[in-house]
Amino acid sequence: MKGEKRVESDLALIDKVRKRQPLIHHITNGVTINDCANITLSCGASPVMADAPEEAADMTRLASALVLNIGTLHQDQVETMIQAGLAANKKGIPVVLDPVGVGATPMRTEAARRLMNRVQITHLKGNAAEIATLAGVQAEVRGVDSGQVGSDLETLAKKAAQIWGVTVTVTGARDWITDGQEQIEVVNGHELMSTVSGTGCMSASVLAAFAATGEDPVASAVSAMATYGVAAEQAARRSRGPGSFRVELFDAIASLTGEQVKEAACVTWRG
């Protein structure tokens, strides 16, 4: 089928990322900013982290994609993100929103909704509880971690995509990617990912690098999640625990080829 073939053809997108070396601007989580920079480099892209309100929009104009992550949120940051997002929209580059901890506090939920109402978001990436909150579905949020949600992931992802008009990626043991029409399940990764702070934030960086390179948002997101998951599987085989896994993850994605991703990716196209 057409959509399935399109997704399959883009699974080797990491090779194109390395050739293009897109600049990825981040306004992101202060806890994980260094890991986000390193995973971007490991993919073959170039990171920049400029969150000063005086230059955030100018830096965005130089970039090929923008990541907005509200993990260490403060009020001034929201306005900076909006200005950077509007600059990205004007330039026509992808914007990835990672609504970390949405649903945990009214401030976070309000900030995420404000960003989505003011900025044309390309990719909304989050865990099940975060996406559920933005889809108006009951969810349990434990700090910045996901708890129980009142809907299955496939339905929840589709609902969020249709409400906001974006490509949604719900991350977890199984990743769901959808634009509200086509739905794809990616089952790659490893349980050690949940033992290292920042693996969720890093996935947004990978997604942005692929979105900056690929032409189709859904296919780019599928390739990004499959690549990241395959790298995690390789890293887990070489690691001894959370600390070594973190380092091995950078090494694994840096050495991963498109052909290896295509061979190891576990992707199911739902139509």
Q: Which residues are annotated as a binding site for ATP?
A: 125, 171
Structure-token match 């978001």, residue found: 121
Closest to 195 in 3D by CA, of 232, 242, 252: 242
Q: Report whether 265 contacts 12 (CB < 8 A).
A: no
Binding residues for substrate: 49, 198
Binding residues: 49, 125, 171, 198
Radius of gyration of the chain (CA): 17
Q: What are the two backbone dihedrals, phi and then psi, of residue 183, each rounded to the nearest 5 degrees?
A: -135, 130
CA–CA dist 93, 214 (Å, integer): 11
Q: Which tokens go with 7?
A: 């997704």
What's the CA angle centered on 42, arms 238 and 263, to 5 degrees?
60
**3-state SS class at 71:** coil
